Structure 1
Amino acid sequence: MRGQPSGHAAAADVREPTGDMVVVEDLRRTYGSGDTAVHALRGVSFTVPRGELVALRGRSGSGKTTVLNLIGGLDAPDGGRITVDGTDLAGLGEDGLLALRRDRIGFVFQSFGLIPVLTAAENIGVPLRLRKVPVREREARVGLLLSLVGLSDHADQRPGELSGGQQQRVAVARALANNPALIIADEPTGQLDADTGLTVMNLLRAVVRSESVTALVATHDTQLLALADRVLELRDGRVVEDA
């Protein structure tokens, strides 16, 4: 059900055919300099096939969040190459990166990131409002997403009236609002108990299938890792296992 997103023309000149949703080649990122420099990534390379849920695991400081931020265009690497949905990120300026994040990538964070004064339905509809989607089309999409995440009966409740698991399901629905090609989730179950976390991870897996999207999820929970199509382990800024 994913259509051609608006804003796509901004990146048209750097698109190239690819069988993978994400291609990362020799990615390097260092913070600071001299004796205090932190080498967050030291030549990371991997691919994420279309339509798969790929998990990143590793201890705190292993480089998981850095990888996700670079792929999502939230930060720039010191070296290497990143291709997302056929677009080389190095060829994009600020406007192109903004269009990429708005139209082709959905983000899910550990902290949920919902707007407290808005209802569940209104939170989900925020990305559609930013793209000026007509009201009738927006309401239909929001209703469909509420049904998809099992929250149709909670549309008018605000985040403070929802459980942690329900808030994260709203966040997942919001990430899907603009029909993204890729979902990036950074420890999406980190604030949830084990059973609720498993429910959210199962939802992400179901979304990958039903919405024909690709998901890259950082998690250290072994129970959740078992649901991934593939697991990449990061250690000291390097990929040490690809299973």
Structure 2
Amino acid sequence: MTESTGRTGTEGQGGTAVAEEPAGGPMVRVEDLHRSYGSGAGAVHALRGVSFEVPRGELVALKGRSGSGKTTLLNLLGGLDSPDGGRITVDGTDLAGLGENGLLELRRDRIGFIFQSFGLIPILTAAENVGVPMRLRKADPREREERVALLLSLVGLADHAAQRPGELSGGQQQRVAIARALANRPALLIADEPTGQLDAETGLAVMELLRAVVRSEGVTALVATHDPQLLGLADRVLELSDGHIVEHA
């Protein structure tokens, strides 16, 4: 349904119309976001009125010391948590209008997650790990095999497809995790300290790979990191301090 404002509507859980913005707007729009844990004098205010936009096709780094709110913000953007106040729009969709099924579909089809701990399934090969999201989507087996081969080649692991995580280095495991995050052609990549378990040289190589992936796959990436060397590879840097955005570079 097209409204007079130029926005389109989709159906959320329970038949509620979910407003979508026209194509071509920012990939991420955050408006006056608040999130607290606990109550009363002991409440922890993780986010205090955070607002920013992430244009499509950019690699944006999110920096800040431990406890600054980075992980909280990424969890909210990925639909893994809900804010106390404010608005989040991802790829034109207002997350507040989505029910649980809508959020599951968003995470499955439009957002790719990369974590510090890799999160690979030990008994599966590299190729099988990359293919898991497509199996969940019930993709055609031939399409799945072709996509897995392409992605392993993209991350430089075409010769390691049959190896299991325990047979790979930390850097190689993170490359598999990146390939898996790209399996369903997401519009947005969310990476929480993806180089935190890697040495400096390997971490830099992984960050350079993420930058190359943003260009080649046409995705947008928001990467939390505290490494100054890695921050230099981002198109833009946002700094979080005590729940506030304090710097746009």
1:60 corresponds to which letter in structure 2?
A: S
Normalising by structure 1, we get a TM-score of 0.95
* Alignment of structure 1 residues 105-120 onto 2, 5 Å: 105-120=111-126
1:170 corresponds to which letter in structure 2?
A: V
Match of 2:19 among 10, 14, 28: 14
Alignment correspondent of 1:212 = 218
Task: Work out whether 1:173 is the aligned partner of 2:179.
Answer: yes
Between the aligned partners of 1:142 and 1:191, the Cα distance in structure 2 is 25
Alpha-carbon contact 1:21-1:182 (below 8 Å) kept:
yes
Q: Which structure exhibits the higher relative contact order, with contacts defined as CA atoms closer than 8 Å and separated by 6 or more residues?
A: 1
Question: What SS is found at the alignment partner of 1:80?
Answer: strand
Alignment correspondent of 1:97 = 103
Q: Map Cα deviations across residues 92-116 of structure 1 (whole Å, 9 max, x no partner).
A: 0000000000000000000000000
Task: Work out whether 1:73 is the aligned partner of 2:68.
Answer: no
Question: What SS is found at the alignment partner of 1:14?
Answer: strand
Give the drift of 1:10. Answer: 5.6
Could you tell me which runs of 5 or more consecutive residues in structure 1 were left unpaired when the two chains were aligned.
1-8
Question: What SS is found at the alignment partner of 2:30?
Answer: strand
Give the drift of 1:134. Answer: 1.1
Match of 1:23 among 26, 29, 33: 29
Between the aligned partners of 2:142 and 2:187, the Cα distance in structure 1 is 23
Question: What SS is found at the alignment partner of 1:241?
Answer: strand
1:230 corresponds to which letter in structure 2?
A: R
2:69 corresponds to which letter in structure 1?
A: G
CA pair 10-198 structure 1, distance change in 2 beyond 3 A: farther
Alignment correspondent of 1:124 = 130
Question: What SS is found at the alignment partner of 1:70?
Answer: helix
Alignment correspondent of 2:201 = 195
Alignment correspondent of 2:3 = none
Match of 2:63 among 46, 50, 57: 57
Give the drift of 1:167. Answer: 0.1
Alpha-carbon contact 1:10-1:95 (below 8 Å) kept:
no
Task: Work out whether 1:146 is the aligned partner of 2:169.
Answer: no
RMSD: 1.0
2:19 corresponds to which letter in structure 1?
A: V
Alpha-carbon contact 1:57-1:218 (below 8 Å) kept:
yes
Give the drift of 1:14. Answer: 2.5
Between the aligned partners of 1:174 and 1:206, the Cα distance in structure 2 is 16
Between the aligned partners of 2:237 and 2:79, the Cα distance in structure 1 is 22
Identity of aligned residues (%): 81
Question: What SS is found at the alignment partner of 1:98?
Answer: helix
Could you tell me which runs of 5 or more consecutive residues in structure 2 were left unpaired when the two chains were aligned.
1-9
